[in-house]
Each structure stands twice: as C-alpha cells, then as structure tokens.
C-alpha cells in the first residue's frame, strides 16, 4: 500500500477513507488466508513434522492447530467469517468507488486460495513463490492504486516488481527451517526442489534482480529518481544473504536472517514510497 497510495497521490487522487477501507479488506483476506493455510498444512502433515529445533517465529505455519490454540472447526469458522468480511468490503469498493478493482480482487482471491488450497496447491508444486510475488507485489499495489483512482498504472507495476521479488525472497528464506518437514510431506517448494545449498547460493541473485529493477525504473517510467530511497533496504539483504550463504542448513537457529529479509521489503516500500511523495508538488 506504500507503493500504490503515493503514486495515486502523485496522480491527483487520494482519500484516507478509501485507503482505510482497502487496508481493512486486505487485513480480513490475510486473516482468512492464514486460516485456510494452517488447515491445509496441518492436514498435509507438514506443520506437524517441523522439529522443535527448526521452529521459528516466521516459519512452520501459525501453529494454532498444532499447539491446540484452536480446533479445526473454530479455525474454519474464523476463516469463513473473515473471508466473507473481506469480500463484502471488496464489493463496497467495487460498487461505490472503483469498478476497475473487481478483476484484481478476483485474481487475488483465486491466487490467495490456490497457494495452499485445492486443486492447484501452488505451494506444493514449486509455484508458491511466484504466487506470493504476484499477490503481494503487483496485485496489492495495483489494487491500492485502483481504489483511489478507478484506473490502472504501469508506473505502479514497475515499482511493485522489486517489492514482489523481495517478498518472495522473504518466503524463500522462511522455507529453509521447514525444509525437512516440507520434503517429508511432499510440499515441493523451490527450496525443497533445489536443496538448501543451491537455494542459499541463489538467494543473492534474487535480491540482485530486485535492486537492478529498482535502479532501472526511473529510466523506463515517469517515476522520479527519489524512488532510489528504496536502496536503504540493500544492507539488510546483504546481511541476510551472507548468513544464509554461510550456513544454509541451520542459520535460523542463531542468525535473524528471516527478520532481515522481512525488514528488507518493508524498508524498500517505505523508501520508494517516500521518494514518490517527496517529488510531488504539493
């Protein structure tokens, strides 16, 4: 949202009320996604197979079922209720403000469900990383912009691509602690498919693609060079890559590489969004 909203403000469209409605709708869908994700990962056995020494605050699922915080029925009730609220808020947006957001919402729901849910279960087929990159990059950024403007923007697409890549990199790092559990239960994400050693060596290349895109964006769009403030995230990526590269099998037990990867995409969005806002002639 820190990508889509500033570009909308630059283009002369911004309303706090609709930004808050957008945030609430996304929050509801995120809760629902976490709910059905926990159910499907519990049913497949992958969350149950995570060893105590491999548990972290960022991976291994939300563990509400594994730790008996909720029953399966309670989790489904919460999931359905929040999904319904998210869809209702989406309908309010489409009918009262931005009809163009309808297609983005439908695609987002399908991809959000399909990460864990049947029939596609993309996270189990080596396509979960691409799913996450699209959902948390272009779709949410474009959706935020569309709600404000009832239009789409190639500038938002460009600026959202590094964000999607950095979020996919965060997921990539989170897949290392779950490697053994995922492999034993057939959750064939890309880290399982490649193996931890090769996946660790590939992580710097993922970040390099993202930051190269950030450097190129002012030359292929109308966005200002101020978006290069997003490079404040680069040191965090370097630290995360160094820790994962040096010890891809157990880095998560004593190095907060997952936290660094999380902060990388947060700082990118804050920096790039601030760069857009700073260039506006208020």
For residue range 127-151, what is the model confidence (pLDDT) as tens digits?
A: 999 999 999 999 999 999 999 999 9
Residue in 108, 123, 208, 195 with CA at minimum distance from that of residue 165? 208
Please report which confidence band the pLDDT of residue 61 belongs to, taking 50, 70 and 90 as the band edges. Answer: confident
pTM as predicted: 0.94
| Total structural domains within the chain | 1
What is the predicted pLDDT for the residue at 265? Answer: 95
pLDDT in tens, 84-111: 999 999 999 999 999 999 999 999 999 9
Vertex 28 angle, CA 27 and 34, to 5°: 90
How far is CA 5 from its chain centroid?
17
Mean pLDDT, residues 43-67 taken together: 90
What is the predicted pLDDT for the residue at 249? Answer: 95
Extract the tokens encoding 251: 């880095």
Cα(232)–Cα(230) distance, rounded to whole angstroms?
5
Sorted by sequence, the CB contacts under 8 Å of residue 23 that are 6+ apart come out as: 1
Extract the tokens encoding 200: 């660790």
Q: Does the structure show a pLDDT above 80 at 29?
A: yes
What average pLDDT is seen over the chain? 95
What is the predicted pLDDT for the residue at 282? Answer: 73
Cα(52)–Cα(245) distance, rounded to whole angstroms?
23
- Percent of the chain at pLDDT exceeding 90: 96
Lowest mean pLDDT among 59-63, 117-121, 195-199: 59-63
- Percent of the chain at pLDDT exceeding 70: 100
Q: How many CB atoms lie within 10 A of CB 27?
A: 14
What is the predicted pLDDT for the residue at 281? Answer: 80
What is the predicted pLDDT for the residue at 45? Answer: 93
Question: Please, what is the angle between helix 154-174 and helix 140-149, to 10°?
Answer: 150
What is the predicted pLDDT for the residue at 117? Answer: 93
| Domain, as residue range, for 154 | 4-278
Asked whether the beta carbons of 251 and 243 are under 8 A apart, the reply is yes
Please report which confidence band the pLDDT of residue 230 belongs to, taking 50, 70 and 90 as the band edges. Answer: very high
Q: Does the structure show a pLDDT above 90 at 271?
A: yes
Please report which confidence band the pLDDT of residue 60 belongs to, taking 50, 70 and 90 as the band edges. Answer: confident
Mean pLDDT, residues 225-233 taken together: 97
Give, as one character, the DSSP assignment of residue 33. H
Mean pLDDT, residues 167-176 taken together: 97
């Amino acid at each position: 949202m820190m990508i889509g909203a500033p570009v909308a403000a630059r283009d002369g469209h911004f309303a706090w009320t609709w930004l808050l409605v957008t945030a609430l709708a996304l929050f509801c869908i995120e809760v629902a996604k976490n709910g059905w994700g926990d159910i499907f990962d519990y049913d497949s056995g992958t969350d149950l197979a995570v060893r105590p020494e491999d548990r972290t605050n960022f991976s291994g699922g939300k563990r509400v079922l594994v730790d008996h915080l909720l029953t399966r029925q309670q989790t489904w009730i919460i999931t359905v209720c929040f999904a319904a609220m998210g869809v209702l808020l989406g309908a309010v947006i489409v009918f009262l403000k931005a009809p163009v957001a309808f297609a983005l919402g439908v695609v987002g729901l399908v991809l959000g469900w399909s990460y864990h849910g049947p029939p596609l279960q993309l996270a189990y087929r080596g396509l979960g990383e691409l799913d996450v990159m699209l959902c948390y990059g272009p779709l949410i950024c474009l959706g935020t912009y569309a709600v404000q403007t009832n239009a789409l923007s190639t500038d938002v697409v460009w600026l959202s691509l590094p964000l999607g890549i950095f979020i996919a990199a965060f997921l990539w790092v989170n897949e290392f602690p779950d490697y053994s559990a995922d492999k034993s239960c057939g959750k064939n994400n890309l880290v399982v498919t490649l193996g931890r050693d090769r996946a660790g060596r590939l992580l710097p290349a993922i970040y390099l693609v993202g930051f190269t895109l950030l450097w190129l964006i002012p030359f292929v769009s109308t966005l200002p060079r101020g978006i290069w403030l997003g490079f404040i995230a680069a040191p965090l990526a370097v630290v995360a890559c160094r820790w994962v590269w040096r010890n891809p099998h157990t880095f998560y037990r004593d190095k907060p590489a997952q936290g660094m990867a999380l902060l990388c995409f947060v700082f990118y969005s804050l920096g790039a969004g601030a760069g857009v806002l700073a260039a506006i002639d208020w």
